Amino acid sequence: MDSIRIRAYGKINIGLDVIKKRDDGYHEVKMIMQTVNLFDKLEIYKMNVPKIKISTNLFYIPNDENNLVYKAAKLLFDEFHIINGIRINLYKHIPVAAGMAGGSADAAATLYAVNKLFNLGLTNQELMERGVKIGADVPYCLMKGTVLATGIGEKLTRLPAMPNCYVVIVKPAFSISTKKVYQSLKIDEIEHHPDIDGIIQAIERKDLYTIASKMENVLESVTVKKYPVLDEIKNIMKNYGALGSVMSGSGPTVFGLFDDIRKAKTVIKVIKDLKLAKQFYLTDMLNINAKKGGF
């Protein structure tokens, strides 16, 4: 095998809670992650020269060691003393710096691809153990599906598949630093925490309406306070038929769950007309829980 083409899928957070700040500076979380059918594309080719070369369709994406794709490839190259090189063409479609783990998904796809291209023989679990060195979301992006994430996000428990529905994803014309959001979060001042266990029970019952009604993200206490337009977008989603609407990750992406595609299309038009956001997607859940992992 001299080349591979692969999709890297984004995620949303059905629920996100922060439990405490650890002594090492990381935060303990309890969140439900869900893969959506929105993806970046990677084309990866072997080269005879010992170099990791990256090109992207977005001028502002780094093409050097600052890209998680580079870090993922180099991690395996160094461990297995790979003397060849690779050329990676990265086509971004997942919103950047938006709380959808796009960079982590690309890194996960790269780990998977390098493992296949060079016959390293690593299992998906072994890739996940290496992926956490790159970022807390990378193991999940290798696992995918409906998952409870605890610890710093690296302890993963498979949940039953989410009931399918339409997902409207809206990204305003600004980006958010996850690190800064967590640094600004005042855990001691949080008066209400999301009912993650209640969401899990609703998932087990395939009860989409209860899931949607319980969706919450504790990081909104930071991001929405700074960017009130996110609350405006959430309210519009609900007023036009969303079963529930919440921010994904540290933001600023907001998503809504719909059981009617006409309502989903209408809410996109309304938010577009009001010029409240720049990127809009209508998609669905990517339920791959029957798989053991892989792409």
- Listed in order, strand segments (DSSP E) in the chain are 3-21, 27-47, 52-56, 85-91, 146-150, 155-158, 166-171, 216-217, 244-247, 254-258, 279-284
Known active-site residue 11: yes
The domain locations on the chain are 3-158, 166-284
Query: In the CATH scheme, what is the code of domain 3-158?
Result: 3.30.230.10
Residue among 40, 92, 137, 234 flagged as catalytic: 137
What pLDDT was estimated at residue 26? 85
The top-level CATH class assigned to 166-284 is alpha beta
Best CA proximity match to 198, nearest among 214, 209, 220, 216: 214
pLDDT tens readout for residues 250-270: 999 999 999 999 999 999 999
Q: What is the pLDDT of residue 286?
A: 87
- Catalytic residue list contains 265: no
Q: What is the per-residue pLDDT across 111-166, written as a single tens digit (0 to 9) for each?
A: 999 999 999 999 999 999 999 999 999 999 999 999 999 999 999 999 999 999 99
Residues of the chain with pLDDT under 70: 289-294
Amino acid, single-letter form, for residue 247: M
Q: Which of 11, 71, 214, 234 is catalytic?
A: 11
**Whole-Å CA distances, 59 to 55, 175, 182:** 9, 16, 27
Round to whole Å and give the CA distance between 40 and 108. 12
Provide the whole-model pTM. 0.95
